[in-house]
Amino acid sequence: MIQRVLAIPTKRFDKATVSFLSAEEAAALIDAPDLQRWEGRRDRAMLVLALQAGLRVSELIGLDCADVVLGTGGHVRCEGKGRRQRAVPLTNSAQQVLRVWMAERAGRAGDPLLPTRTGRRLSPDAVERRVAIHAATATKRCPSLQAKKLHPHVLRHSCAMSLLQARVDVAVIALWLGHADMRSTDAYVQHWASPGIVEGSG
Active-site residue list: 56, 81, 153, 156, 179, 188
Buried b (16+ CB within 10 A) or exposed e, 149-170: ebebebbbbbbbbbbbeeeeeb
Q: How many residues does the chain have?
A: 202
From the list 185, 192, 186, the residue with the least C-alpha distance to 165 is 192
**Alpha-carbon distance 40 to 161, whole Å?**
26
- Per-residue CA distances from 142 to 21, 27, 127, 129 (Å): 11, 9, 21, 19
Write the DSSP assignment of 144-178 as a string of letters: GGGGS---HHHHHHHHHHHHHHTT--HHHHHHHHT
- Strand duo 68-69 + 75-79: pairing: antiparallel
Local structure of 79: helix, strand or coil: strand
Contact 176, 88 (CB under 8 A): yes
- Strand duo 68-69 + 85-89: pairing: unpaired
